[in-house]
Amino acid sequence: MTEPVPAGGGADRSPRPWRAANRAFAGRRRLGVGALLGPPLAWMLVVYVGSLLLLVWSSLYRLDPVTQKPTHEFTWANLRSAFALWDADTRDAIWPFVRTVGVALLVTAICVMIAMPVAFFVAKVAPRWMRRGLIVAMLMPLWAGYLVKGYAWRAMVSPAGGRFAAEGKGDGGFLESVFGWTPGYGRVAIVVALVYLWLPYMILPVYAGLERLPPSLLDAAGDLGARPLRTFREIILPMLLPSVAAGSIFTFSLTLGDYIVPQIVNNGEERFMFGSTINATLGAPNQPLAAAYTLWPLVIIVLYLLAMKRAGAFDNL
Amino acid sequence: MKLSAPSRVALALATVATLVFLYLPLAVVLRLSFNPAKSVAWPGFNGYTLDWWRKAWEAEGPKDALLNSCKVALAATFVALVLGTLAAMAMARFRFFGRNAVSFLMVLPISLPGIVTGIALQNTFSRTFSLTLFDIRWFSFRVGFGFHSLVIAHATFCVVVAYNNVVARLRRSSPNLLEASADLGAHGSQTFRYITFPLMRSALLAGGILAFALSFDEIVVTTFTAGSGFLTLPQWILANYSRPQNVPLVNVMATFVMVVSIPMAYLAQRLSDGGTDT
């Protein structure tokens, strides 16, 4: 510290308002907590929690079929048409949600399968001086911009003879023209782009978990005759579970809520992800029904967070 | 653990392949921003032009959007830093009832899907904005969709970034410093000025950069809370990526975003790692 701390003794020489504040807070712990916590807590409760409650509340209003605006009449109809799975219409509307959960699980599984060997290499195999650089290199693409990355995958997978074929010379995006093959726009591109977006969120906690794993444990397993695969299965995997759970919170919940990048890399099917369903319902316009639909991801995320909390994920965030 | 040479090589190759996977698409966009043709088709390595960079510089749309994004991100970062720092100081220094609930509350806005946050805030804003008119003598101020709504929305999910950085720093720094300061007779404001604030300065900067980046990049909550007539850069990109005549400009703006934000993120990383020596 460059400036010496003045020994105040008794006389407070701070500017006048500061002096008053010092007097007011001296020795009053509760007042201190209240003053510090008050503004952020008020903001979060009023702006955020308040909005969420208002959203749930707004799903209980009836939509006026003529003006297409929510009225102030109370109805269960919106919640019913969002949750009555015995109803064929509801099932049709909710089908994208099931598909979205499937995509989220698939993306999470692929991220785990890529992150495990890569994080293991960085944490345990690569020379010590390379580790920091490698992990920073893995994390930096996180900041390249969400849309930029979605757009980049569009440029990667765009097929020959697409809508841009007439505009420029040379057909097709990077994959098509360099490798002569592309998955094109569609489901494969959606999963690849989502894995691309969220992979660093899985690599980081898995890497941190592996770094905490004492090397002596792995040596002991080796000395006792365990082959690497067995050491992996019986030592590394169980100890890494909380880290994987922590990473999966990101890969799962971010995929679940995403619909914009899937739209960018999916020219054909407009409504692949559930987010698009909610968005389209809102634009229909049917705000109360859209509000009811948002309860699906809300409930699933809360359940998922609770499950991951049990797996020890929150100590590893 | 003794790994055989082939499995070491296999792991190294997997790592290299992952790095290629992570950087190749970004490199493709970078290359396309110098592409003479107006398409996302891969041009190979022949033909480079700076025309699109010049056109993007001259065009009004992307520049306005960039400026709007910066304004919103700056204001949201300021609010988030103030709120996040207050919360972090309370959480790091005091034990009190409901502590876990507070940290859960901070994380909630980024854990829930953007579309839920977006629709919830849009719903609240459209119900309350007509009511919020501050008209105090010559100071008249109306909160509305556009800049104001975006700052409120972005600040809400940026608080957690500022909070995380500051709380981590305060936890790592010794409470003895505060006690020593008090023992030497410093008053609360002096301890803050000479001890607490210098301790968290670099964490504030790191949190600020990350909050700025988070706000600058956000698109889902933004589309729901911007209202009409106020366009941020992500919104501009989303509106133009599929318009053939604007694809070159999208390439340029996308490249610009990544060339500016990746080094900033690196800087933030260094700042939040450092600062333990004080």
pLDDT tens digits for range B48-103: 888 888 888 888 888 888 999 999 999 999 999 999 998 888 887 777 777 777 87
Tokens of A15: 């500017």
Which tens digits make up the pLDDT trace of A285-299?
Answer: 888 888 888 888 888
Q: With an 8 Å Cβ cutoff, are B198 and A1 in contact?
A: yes
Whole-number Å distance between alpha carbons of B188 and A26: 7
Amino acid letter, residue B97: F
ipTM reported for the complex, 2 dp: 0.84
Whole-number Å distance between alpha carbons of B52 and B69: 21
CATH architecture of structural domain B49-133+140-273: Orthogonal Bundle (1.10)
Classify residue A133 as left (phi > 0), alpha (psi -120 to 50) or beta. alpha
- Give the start-to-end residue ranges of the domains of chain A: 27-52, 89-316
Which tens digits make up the pLDDT trace of A271-287?
Answer: 788 888 888 888 888 88
Residue B142 pLDDT: 65
Q: Class assignment of domain A89-316? A: mainly alpha
Classified as helix, coil or strand, A63 is: strand
Amino acid letter, residue A99: R
Q: Is B105 on the interface with A (CB under 8 A)?
A: yes
- Please count the helices (runs of H) and the strands (runs of E) in chain A: 16, 2
Which tens digits make up the pLDDT trace of B120-168?
Answer: 998 888 887 665 555 555 555 667 777 888 999 999 989 988 888 888 8
Residue of B4, B28, B42 to mutate, interface with A, max A Cβ within 10 Å: B42
Which tens digits make up the pLDDT trace of A6-23?
Answer: 444 456 677 777 777 777
Contacts of A51 in chain B (CB under 8 A): 117, 120-121, 123-124
DSSP for A203-268? HHHHHHHHHHS-HHHHHHHHHTT--HHHHIIIIIHHHHHHHHHHHHHHHHHHHHH--HHHHHT-SS
For residue A131, count CB atoms less than 10 angstroms from its CB and return exposed for 0-12, middle for 13-18, buried for 19 or more.
middle
Closest CA to A103 of A17, A34, A189, A200: A189
Whole-number Å distance between alpha carbons of B256 and B205: 22
Contacts of B211 in chain A (CB under 8 A): none
B20, pLDDT greater than 90: yes
**Phi, psi of B232, rounded to the nearest 5 degrees:** -95, 170
Whole-number Å distance between alpha carbons of A127 and A129: 6
- Give the start-to-end residue ranges of the domains of chain B: 49-133+140-273
H or E element that contains B141: strand B139-142
H or E element that contains A117: helix A88-120
CA distance A45 to chain B (A): 8
Whole-number Å distance between alpha carbons of A166 and B167: 55
